[in-house]
Amino acid sequence: MLDYCGIPIKAHEVVSDAALYEVRARLGSMLNHLPTITFNLGMSQRVRSLFDRQYERSIKKGLWVKGRLSASNLPPDPLPDE
């Protein structure tokens, strides 16, 4: 099975191997500078569901406001060295 950074590359059996390798090369050129997207797409469903459940729990606790971590829930800034 061919993949790019954990993202499976699938096609009908009539698609040539050369075409699949070209798909992998093109994915590499498109996603090379987008590591977060590559990570999220390549993440297994089990791991992704763990992240989603943790995010949903934090929303229920009020830790997120409009998609951003609430400032009231951030740790305090360290005191500057004097």
Q: Where are the domains of the chain?
A: 1-43, 44-74
Which of 70, 6, 67, 11 lies closest to 41, judged by CA?
A: 6
The C-alpha atoms of residue 39 and residue 50 are separated, in whole angstroms, by: 14
The pLDDT assigned to 57 comes to 80
Q: Which residues are paired to 69 by β-bridges?
A: 64
Give 30-66 pLDDT, tens digit per residue: 888 887 877 777 776 677 677 778 877 877 777 666 6
Q: Which residues are paired to 7 by β-bridges?
A: 4
SS3 36: helix
pTM beyond cutoff 0.85 = no
